[in-house]
Chains A and B, each alone.
Chain A
């Protein structure tokens, strides 16, 4: 490793800058990637990682600075030019076409005039060589997220790149799938290719990366050998301070049953959705149940059924505080003391163009009718109490904003999420259902939200957290259940649960039978 630093770097940036309006997303970035190394790019959400790699891949034009390829300045004006130079990219949000087949998706990324059937063969051969099996004739819409990522990787490998950029590749994988990916990366490295590995997961960066560059607020705040660092020293570079530990102490004995789901099934509403099958779940007062799982296994469908966005025909299959609730709508469930925080902040949990007080009234006009509305059936909004509540929520959750009552869409993701969670917590709900509470939220805000969820359970409410973030699951849950292809595993106490066990459950291995995986493969076979 030491002698590589004296070689000409494969790719180098000098003072690379990107300005969006008043925001300096990347500010004078210096980065050097040596041939044959796995280089980590670390940073919080919004640190500028994605902007940086988009410039390297020609999707965005730099505002200033230069990019050097093998010591020579280059201008990468488009993804096509990036590929011609020798840069391949695997996107975080997949750039795949759902309605097309695997082979067609791969063909689109290749410039040559290769026939589709030859691409199928080539893709099959290459995918087996790197241990990433793929069926070229399958439609992308039918594939799991892990399989979709394989397409992206195989697609970039077909162009024989010297540098492969991977943007948060493990955020959508099970631990076992991630291990497979690491083997593939080691193979690429052995072939002399370089990898730029973007992540905010310190453990895996320490495991596989030779060097790391850390970004914060668009600037490089450190360059190091991650193996010489501790997780906390890396975290300090990323966050610029200490991150508060969540205290789960004080979660007492669970009380009465507040949510009881029995044999709940719901058909898939679109070809891209997942059907829920025989879901059983019991949540008691004072409990935090976390539902782990890889994206796209029925999380949003389960949330919709719990919140009442989608009702089920059998009212008895979902009981809230011992009342059959399967056919009740969202407002009726809110009136029973439930609160819901959906995954998508913009347009689902909040209306981006309305200000915070308006968003507050929208979700609580029925449950807090006496506080927020006057004029009887006219339902006039009492602006005084609404403004006071907005202020109270913002203070309680430390929502940072430039105006007293700004439009929801003008807040950063973390601040808006704090407000949305705070808006529901402010009611002191008896039951809270949250989907992906800290997705795309910085570490400071995430720890605040997680603490608030734990505190709510401590005060005697039932909390259901649907999350793909295993660190979060272990931090806050009293019991953990795993969702896989619309089926929910039996909740197990967090204290006896291991990551390996969760990984197996994510792959459909219930009690070691492997039943779920077999049906999955059978479903893909035709």
Chain B
């Protein structure tokens, strides 16, 4: 009983940062911007969240600092790619390199410091329900935030007028401009939302997952989040499914390695990536639906003619 509960808990904890970063990037890409700097923004969020927690003593303030740091990093990306119409792929890659380097520098004095874990919600009585109690009522706050974010983004994109405007810009920015929509303003907002989410995802790593600072602690999770968005056909609930699948297989393969089935460990380590991609490719095999959901102006700079 306890073992199953613990495994499920670790799966949820592993999936949460992927989900948050991917949901943020989904909004960015739905507006037609491709920000490959998720990894960089995440690691900046992780270090700033950790540093602010140590300095203020409050992991809550640390979480806010991580969100702000991610947003500021994305603003840099926004100025370069939106206002100056720089190449989005090159700028995003640079942002990742910048983030990895900058976080190493900021975090130098914090290596080895004992972190403060963001306390889990512990609703008395309810969290003592066997098996599901801790899973539903005893998680960390960022876990609940990730589910609210997913539902909120799905509702925003497909049920609100502002979400419709965002999707329209991603589909055809020239037409959106001709209709009088302020393309760049909305893209700025989307990019900064994506940055804030990446920062929060980083905070989950350094405040919940492993409450300490280790250089390069994101370990490629930003790239996985990027891949999840594409393979989930830019749809929020599929991103959630993909993130949890990835989390489940990565935890599962760890247990498999520990038990030692005689399967080469390299193969097991690769399994989460392979499984996630295969499943998402299979569910998005309806090419029509996929193309309908693909933002047609993704990655193209918009320069209004006046």
Query: How far, in Å, is B268 (CB) from chain A's closest CB?
Result: 38
Whether B175 sits at the interface, judged by CB under 8 Å, is: yes
Partner of B292, one of A91, A107, A141: A141
In the complex, besides A58-B180, A108-B164, A270-B287, 7 extra interface pairs with C-beta distance below 8 angstroms are A81-B180, A97-B171, A99-B294, A107-B164, A108-B165, A108-B181, A109-B179
A91 touches B178 (CB 8 A): yes
- Size bin of chain B's contact surface: 20 to 34
What is the CA–CA distance of A220 and B281 in the complex, to the nearest angstrom? 58
List, in ascending order, chain A residues with CB within 8 A of B174's CB.
Answer: 95
B305 touches A100 (CB 8 A): no
Query: How far, in Å, is A158 (CB) from chain B's closest CB?
Result: 13
Name A's B-contacting residues (CB within 8 A). 58-61, 78-81, 83, 91, 94-100, 104, 107-109, 113, 116, 139, 141, 270-272
List, in ascending order, chain B residues with CB within 8 A of A81's CB.
Answer: 180
A100 touches B171 (CB 8 A): yes
Whether B288 sits at the interface, judged by CB under 8 Å, is: yes
Name B's A-contacting residues (CB within 8 A). 161, 164-165, 167-168, 171-172, 174-181, 287-288, 291-294, 296, 305-306
List, in ascending order, chain B residues with CB within 8 A of A97's CB.
Answer: 167-168, 171-172, 175-176
A79 touches B180 (CB 8 A): yes
List, in ascending order, chain A residues with CB within 8 A of B293's CB.
Answer: 99
User: Nearest CB to that of B286 among chain A residues?
Assistant: A271
A99 touches B167 (CB 8 A): yes
Query: How far, in Å, is A89 (CB) from chain B's closest CB?
Result: 8
List, in ascending order, chain B residues with CB within 8 A of A100's CB.
Answer: 164, 167-168, 171
A96 touches B292 (CB 8 A): no
B306 touches A60 (CB 8 A): yes
A270 touches B179 (CB 8 A): no
What is the CA–CA distance of A396 and B278 in the complex, to the nearest angstrom? 58
What is the CA–CA distance of A91 and B178 in the complex, to the nearest angstrom? 10
List, in ascending order, chain A residues with CB within 8 A of B175's CB.
Answer: 94-97
Partner of A139, one of B164, B181, B287, B292: B292
A98 touches B164 (CB 8 A): no
**Main secondary structure on A side of the interface with B:** loop
List, in ascending order, chain A residues with CB within 8 A of B180's CB.
Answer: 58, 78-81, 83
What is the CA–CA distance of A61 and B180 in the complex, to the nearest angstrom? 14
List, in ascending order, chain A residues with CB within 8 A of B294's CB.
Answer: 99
16 of the cross-chain contacts (CB-CB < 8 Å) are: A58-B180, A60-B305, A61-B306, A91-B178, A95-B174, A97-B171, A98-B296, A99-B167, A99-B171, A100-B171, A107-B164, A108-B164, A108-B176, A109-B179, A116-B164, A270-B291
Query: How far, in Å, is B179 (CB) from chain A's closest CB?
Result: 6
What is the CA–CA distance of A60 and B179 in the complex, to the nearest angstrom? 13
What is the CA–CA distance of A61 and B174 in the complex, to the nearest angstrom? 16
Query: How far, in Å, is A132 (CB) from chain B's closest CB?
Result: 20
List, in ascending order, chain B residues with CB within 8 A of A99's CB.
Answer: 167, 171, 291-294, 296
A271 touches B164 (CB 8 A): no
Query: How far, in Å, is A86 (CB) from chain B's closest CB?
Result: 15
A107 touches B167 (CB 8 A): no
Which of A60, A91, A99: most chain B Cβ within 10 A?
A99
List, in ascending order, chain A residues with CB within 8 A of B172's CB.
Answer: 95-98
List, in ascending order, chain B residues with CB within 8 A of A61's CB.
Answer: 306
User: Nearest CB to that of B305 among chain A residues?
Assistant: A60
What is the CA–CA distance of A61 and B305 in the complex, to the nearest angstrom? 9
List, in ascending order, chain B residues with CB within 8 A of A80's CB.
Answer: 180
What is the CA–CA distance of A271 and B296 in the complex, to the nearest angstrom? 13
Which of A58, A104, A113: most chain B Cβ within 10 A?
A104
User: Nearest CB to that of B178 among chain A residues?
Assistant: A95
Query: How far, in Å, is A352 (CB) from chain B's closest CB?
Result: 17
B168 touches A108 (CB 8 A): yes
What is the CA–CA distance of A141 and B293 in the complex, to the nearest angstrom? 12
Query: How far, in Å, is A48 (CB) from chain B's closest CB?
Result: 15
Query: How far, in Å, is A474 (CB) from chain B's closest CB?
Result: 34
What is the CA–CA distance of A81 and B179 in the complex, to the nearest angstrom? 10
List, in ascending order, chain B residues with CB within 8 A of A91's CB.
Answer: 178
A99-B293, A99-B296, A271-B292 known; A113-B161 Cβ under 8 A: yes
A104 touches B291 (CB 8 A): no
What is the CA–CA distance of A272 and B172 in the complex, to the nearest angstrom? 15
What is the CA–CA distance of A79 and B174 in the complex, to the nearest angstrom? 13
List, in ascending order, chain A residues with CB within 8 A of B296's CB.
Answer: 98-99
B179 touches A95 (CB 8 A): yes
User: Nearest CB to that of B170 among chain A residues?
Assistant: A99
User: Nearest CB to that of B172 among chain A residues?
Assistant: A97
What is the CA–CA distance of A124 and B173 in the complex, to the nearest angstrom? 27
List, in ascending order, chain B residues with CB within 8 A of A139's CB.
Answer: 292
A59 touches B178 (CB 8 A): yes
B161 touches A107 (CB 8 A): yes
What is the CA–CA distance of A61 and B306 in the complex, to the nearest angstrom? 6
The 8 closest A-B pairs by CB, nearest first: A80-B180, A95-B175, A79-B180, A271-B288, A97-B171, A95-B178, A99-B171, A97-B168
User: Nearest CB to that of B292 among chain A residues?
Assistant: A99
A79 touches B292 (CB 8 A): no
Query: How far, in Å, is A439 (CB) from chain B's closest CB?
Result: 20
What is the CA–CA distance of A518 and B305 in the complex, to the nearest angstrom? 43
What is the CA–CA distance of A472 and B293 in the complex, to the nearest angstrom? 39
A104 touches B164 (CB 8 A): yes
What is the CA–CA distance of A99 and B292 in the complex, to the nearest angstrom? 5
List, in ascending order, chain B residues with CB within 8 A of A104's CB.
Answer: 164, 168
What is the CA–CA distance of A93 and B288 in the complex, to the nearest angstrom? 23
Query: How far, in Å, is B134 (CB) from chain A's closest CB?
Result: 41
Query: How far, in Å, is A336 (CB) from chain B's closest CB?
Result: 34
What is the CA–CA distance of A91 and B177 in the complex, to the nearest angstrom? 13
What is the CA–CA distance of A270 and B294 in the complex, to the nearest angstrom? 13
Query: How far, in Å, is B21 (CB) from chain A's closest CB?
Result: 25
Query: How far, in Å, is A349 (CB) from chain B's closest CB?
Result: 23
Partner of A108, one of B179, B288, B306: B179
List, in ascending order, chain B residues with CB within 8 A of A94's CB.
Answer: 175
Query: How far, in Å, is B5 (CB) from chain A's closest CB?
Result: 43
List, in ascending order, chain A residues with CB within 8 A of B176's CB.
Answer: 97, 108
Query: How far, in Å, is A524 (CB) from chain B's closest CB?
Result: 15
List, in ascending order, chain A residues with CB within 8 A of B167's CB.
Answer: 97, 99-100
List, in ascending order, chain B residues with CB within 8 A of A78's CB.
Answer: 180
A98-B172, A98-B296, A271-B292 known; A79-B179 Cβ under 8 A: yes
User: Nearest CB to that of A95 among chain B residues?
Assistant: B175
B171 touches A79 (CB 8 A): no
What is the CA–CA distance of A255 and B167 in the complex, to the nearest angstrom? 56
A104-B164, A108-B165, A139-B292 known; A98-B171 Cβ under 8 A: yes
What is the CA–CA distance of A512 and B199 in the complex, to the nearest angstrom? 65
Query: How far, in Å, is B269 (CB) from chain A's closest CB?
Result: 37
Query: How far, in Å, is B178 (CB) from chain A's closest CB?
Result: 5
List, in ascending order, chain B residues with CB within 8 A of A98's CB.
Answer: 171-172, 296
What is the CA–CA distance of A108 and B175 in the complex, to the nearest angstrom? 11
Query: How far, in Å, is B300 (CB) from chain A's closest CB?
Result: 15
Query: How far, in Å, is A384 (CB) from chain B's closest CB?
Result: 39
List, in ascending order, chain B residues with CB within 8 A of A107's CB.
Answer: 161, 164
List, in ascending order, chain A residues with CB within 8 A of B177's CB.
Answer: 59
List, in ascending order, chain A residues with CB within 8 A of B178's CB.
Answer: 59, 79, 91, 95
